[in-house]
Structure 1
Amino acid sequence: MDAIPTPLRFADVFAGCGGLSLGLLQAGCQGVFAVEKNPLAFETFRHNLIDGERFGFDWPEWLPKSSMTCEELLDGYSPYLEGLRGSIDIIVGGPPCQGFSTAGRRDPSDPRNQMTKQYLTLIEMLKPRYLVIENVAGYDMRFEDIEGVEGELKKDVSPSYADSVEKSLEELGYSVSRGLVNCSDYGVPQNRMRYLFICECDDGGSIRKPGLLEELRLYKEDFLNKNGLPRDKKITVREAIGDLLTAGRSLVENLDSGVKGFKEVEYQAPLIQVGYIELMRKWSNGKAPNSLRLANHKKKTIEYFKKVQATCRPGRTMTQYERKLVGTKKHSTTVLHPDKPASTITTLPDDILHYCEPRILTVRENARLQSFPDWFSFKGKYTTGGKNRKQECPRYTQVGNAVPPLLANAIGEMLFLRQCGAPTQSERKVEGNQQPSPSQVNEMA
């Protein structure tokens, strides 16, 4: 009998609250260390994944289990990191993307764009077999300098930042596969477009075709089947959060935020759990999830939300005409459509309104739309404001910034099969080969 492959070992950089790591752990990978500069986000990560009941990291003794920047990691622990060379199979990370986001002002001089260079330095130091870099859809857009020249627009057609990153990775010896992915294709109830690099170390021409991103796309149907999710339709908002409605249910005091005066729904799990809700409730042992706190909306705000819900087309961002009708200048408000995937979850709680209740979503509802299971608990304050918005990372921000774990799970399983030497998905379709899933291999072990 062939030896059972060992789990792929990974490091997570710019880890946030742990969406990428959670998905890889669910795929049977082994975490080694994670880097996240924000203390609130790191505490959520540590609680669930480093020292959690379900998963744990093989954390180095020389590295503190605390928040730090990638720069601090490189400056303080480079000799130790060099000792890990060859023992890390995957580096994953989503360098801060606000400088590229189409939702805000795209600024080529934004210092957060420079953090990608630190990520590349770490890659060169550890030289893993695989790389996964996740960012917003605008990551591949070109920064264009537009100026008037005799009444015409002159554009600088310089390479995008993604082009520059690809060139740097190729110089480090990696075969680069990159492009846009819609998270809803992998069971996430959200039309969240992300830009992915999935790369493999080119060790002398042994890399198989197709590229890793194409292989991920080909693996989609097997992944959905394995998780009991439909292949012919997307998971809807109602399927994801319908059991979290407040109408007709008792409200009780919220206790997990440490702030008095807030309520939450007294949660009752559905008697029948199939498909997506079964995935979300798995390992919860009948317990209610945390982060159910409802916002304390003023009566005037509730009436405004009702007007927005009556005026706007569900699932579509308000038009200029609709904004005028409801009396707002806010551009990004969207009312959820119950029978479609959600629009992209952001870090701002009032960007999205519930499909039938006049309120914003709870942190848990946002987490469901991001595919975080109910056993995963978020830590820290719920919201922040004013000057603290640039320094703090409350629960809404943690969820909005995260990589959906279901997408990360699919990536981890695809890489596991690749590492095992299993036929690619395209080869399986031709030859009819059947290979065990990563979870089946783990059960055999």
Structure 2
Amino acid sequence: MSCQPDLAQKATYIDLFSGCGGLSLGLGNAGWHGLFAVEKDPMAFATFKRNLIDGKHAHFDWPNWLPKEATTIQNLLENYPEQLAALKGKVDLVAGGPPCQGFSLAGLRNAKDPRNKLSDEYIKMVEIVAPKYLLLENVRGFNASFKAPEGKKAKKPHSMIVKAKLEKLGYKVFTDFLCSADFGVPQKRTRFIMIGVKNDLIGQNFENPFEVISNIRRDFLNTKKLPLRPVKVSDAIGDLLVETNGLIHHSGSEASGFKQIDYKSPSKLSKYLRVIRKGVGRSKPNSLRLARHKPSTIEKFTKIQNICKPGVSLNDQMRLEIGTKKQAITVLNADEPSKTLTTLPDDLLHYSEPRILTVREMARIQSFPDSFEILGKYTTGGERRTQECPRYTQIGNAVPPLLAEALGLFIKRLGN
């Protein structure tokens, strides 16, 4: 597989819809250099800025013309047309995952969800910047047809509309599904991936990237010294048990305020934790605050753990027995990768303690290192849920950094 440009020098990228930075973190670890990122939520961008612009994982040559603050692609297109036009042909990769709520198979699929149109803004940026490569990540439902009213033809998947528009701009576009668990992430998170390559970079012997990406899987895991078998949840969060660490005061009153896990780094780490804890010594990660469960909630969670098969969602009879209408409740299976994390922390219960996960435990399951700090409110409710991106939402929405790193290494390989 051979394309002409040599990306070994300084592979540059722009991250659109960056969220808290899972995709950028992985690309940075794969040796890419960021130009800038676009994220509209102030909390998610604060996390991004702390880690990837100012912090330990910084790798952005941020342009002087663009403020380091939350913004939208629309704002960029309207206010910085000349600066964007000047980037034409100078960017190796445009990456991103447009918000996916309207496509999610787990939610209320809505063909008219205005967020579905954000992929058009991604395409507009591609048209202006004309990068060599494209990377687009989304939920599986991005590639599923929307149900049509009776008697009418089903609308084709949004992914095919996006693919056709990118092909008109001069790209050869390849699509497939990848499971994060295949790349060292302790989570069965399957995502739709789109990789685009400029037509003039494709030689005679160019192969479908997805037909050869599995070839790098073994090398990637071996380089990381990760097991070839899927990583178990207990290997990712087993050192964060309340039972073995104890609790300390976090915030609020001593009597009824929030508590957090008093983390003590174990002397022996799993292969996965050696990756996650790299470079932090014995220091404690942030975001170890526990939810403040009422006694009745703890009792309910204990009952769920007793009757539920680990890793399998409650069935209708179990929900009736427990007295809940909530559709998706699953107890983690300690011996398997987690089910896909969502932005709702009470969708998953801990495998041995009657509680939801902490933000840090979710971050571990997503493959964020302990050196990555997560900022902002922990949760939000009511009408604000569609407007704000607190810590649980930031992590639930993120691209797993290990998967992003594998993709970043692979796209760099396309250029050699």
Q: TM-score range by the shorter chain?
A: over 0.9
Once residues 282 and 217 of structure 1 are traced to their aligned partners in structure 2, the CA distance between those partners, rounded to angstroms, is 26
Match of 1:403 in 2: 399
Aligned amino acid, residue 38 of structure 1: D
1:265-276 alignment, distance < 5 Å: 265-276=261-272
The 8 Å contact of residues 105 and 141 in structure 2, kept in 1 or not, is answered as yes
Once residues 201 and 127 of structure 2 are traced to their aligned partners in structure 1, the CA distance between those partners, rounded to angstroms, is 17
The 8 Å contact of residues 39 and 71 in structure 2, kept in 1 or not, is answered as yes
1:184 aligns with 2:181: yes
Match of 1:214 in 2: 211
Deviation at 1:254, TM superposition (A): 1.8
Deviation at 1:207, TM superposition (A): 6.5
The 8 Å contact of residues 353 and 359 in structure 1, kept in 2 or not, is answered as yes
Seen in structure 2, the aligned counterparts of structure 1 residues 98 and 208 have a Cα distance that, compared at 3 Å, is: farther
Once residues 332 and 69 of structure 2 are traced to their aligned partners in structure 1, the CA distance between those partners, rounded to angstroms, is 37
1:87 aligns with 2:84: no
Deviation at 1:328, TM superposition (A): 1.1
Seen in structure 2, the aligned counterparts of structure 1 residues 207 and 241 have a Cα distance that, compared at 3 Å, is: farther
Once residues 85 and 344 of structure 2 are traced to their aligned partners in structure 1, the CA distance between those partners, rounded to angstroms, is 39
The 8 Å contact of residues 7 and 412 in structure 2, kept in 1 or not, is answered as no
Match among 297, 300, 318 for residue 322 of structure 1:
318
Seen in structure 2, the aligned counterparts of structure 1 residues 207 and 240 have a Cα distance that, compared at 3 Å, is: farther
1:18 aligns with 2:21: yes
Q: Which runs of 5+ in 1 are unaligned?
A: 148-153, 422-445
Equivalent pairs counted in the alignment come to 408
Match of 1:31 in 2: 34
Once residues 134 and 77 of structure 2 are traced to their aligned partners in structure 1, the CA distance between those partners, rounded to angstroms, is 18
Match of 1:119 in 2: 122
Deviation at 1:398, TM superposition (A): 0.1
Match of 1:311 in 2: 307
Deviation at 1:226, TM superposition (A): 0.7
Deviation at 1:104, TM superposition (A): 1.3
Match of 2:275 in 1: 279
Deviation at 1:204, TM superposition (A): 6.1
Seen in structure 2, the aligned counterparts of structure 1 residues 223 and 255 have a Cα distance that, compared at 3 Å, is: farther
Once residues 4 and 74 of structure 1 are traced to their aligned partners in structure 2, the CA distance between those partners, rounded to angstroms, is 27
Further displaced range: 137-146 or 92-101: 137-146
Aligned amino acid, residue 380 of structure 2: T
Runs of 4+ in 1 over 3 A off after TM superposition: none
Once residues 397 and 204 of structure 1 are traced to their aligned partners in structure 2, the CA distance between those partners, rounded to angstroms, is 38
1:225 aligns with 2:228: no
Seen in structure 2, the aligned counterparts of structure 1 residues 171 and 356 have a Cα distance that, compared at 3 Å, is: same
Match of 2:239 in 1: 243
1:101 aligns with 2:104: yes
Higher relative CO (CA 8 A, sep ≥ 6), structure 1 or 2? 2
Deviations 1:46-92 (A, max 9, x none): 00001113323100000000001111111111110111112210111
The 8 Å contact of residues 38 and 393 in structure 1, kept in 2 or not, is answered as yes
Aligned amino acid, residue 88 of structure 2: R
Once residues 380 and 267 of structure 2 are traced to their aligned partners in structure 1, the CA distance between those partners, rounded to angstroms, is 36
Once residues 234 and 216 of structure 1 are traced to their aligned partners in structure 2, the CA distance between those partners, rounded to angstroms, is 17
Aligned amino acid, residue 410 of structure 1: A
The 8 Å contact of residues 180 and 187 in structure 2, kept in 1 or not, is answered as yes
Match among 361, 364, 371 for residue 360 of structure 2:
364
1:196 aligns with 2:193: yes
Seen in structure 2, the aligned counterparts of structure 1 residues 70 and 210 have a Cα distance that, compared at 3 Å, is: same
Seen in structure 2, the aligned counterparts of structure 1 residues 292 and 344 have a Cα distance that, compared at 3 Å, is: same
The 8 Å contact of residues 371 and 404 in structure 1, kept in 2 or not, is answered as yes
3-state SS of 1:254 partner: strand
Deviation at 1:290, TM superposition (A): 0.2
3-state SS of 2:242 partner: coil
Aligned amino acid, residue 378 of structure 1: I
Aligned amino acid, residue 160 of structure 2: D
Deviation at 1:324, TM superposition (A): 1.5
The 8 Å contact of residues 144 and 155 in structure 1, kept in 2 or not, is answered as no
Once residues 105 and 39 of structure 2 are traced to their aligned partners in structure 1, the CA distance between those partners, rounded to angstroms, is 24
Once residues 319 and 337 of structure 2 are traced to their aligned partners in structure 1, the CA distance between those partners, rounded to angstroms, is 23
The 8 Å contact of residues 130 and 201 in structure 1, kept in 2 or not, is answered as yes
Deviation at 1:106, TM superposition (A): 1.0
The 8 Å contact of residues 13 and 32 in structure 2, kept in 1 or not, is answered as yes
Match of 1:434 in 2: none
Match among 134, 139, 152 for residue 136 of structure 1:
139
The 8 Å contact of residues 27 and 410 in structure 1, kept in 2 or not, is answered as yes
Deviation at 1:387, TM superposition (A): 1.6
Once residues 413 and 4 of structure 1 are traced to their aligned partners in structure 2, the CA distance between those partners, rounded to angstroms, is 11
Match of 2:294 in 1: 298
Further displaced range: 354-363 or 95-104: 95-104
Aligned amino acid, residue 184 of structure 2: G
1:34-53 alignment, distance < 5 Å: 34-53=37-56
Match of 1:334 in 2: 330
Match of 1:58 in 2: 61
The 8 Å contact of residues 142 and 192 in structure 2, kept in 1 or not, is answered as yes
Deviation at 1:11, TM superposition (A): 0.4
Once residues 303 and 57 of structure 1 are traced to their aligned partners in structure 2, the CA distance between those partners, rounded to angstroms, is 48
Further displaced range: 198-207 or 188-197: 198-207
Deviation at 1:272, TM superposition (A): 1.7
Deviation at 1:205, TM superposition (A): 4.2
Match of 1:175 in 2: 172
Deviations 1:238-285 (A, max 9, x none): 0000000001432111269xxx81111111112122411101001213
The 8 Å contact of residues 236 and 341 in structure 1, kept in 2 or not, is answered as yes
Match of 1:427 in 2: none
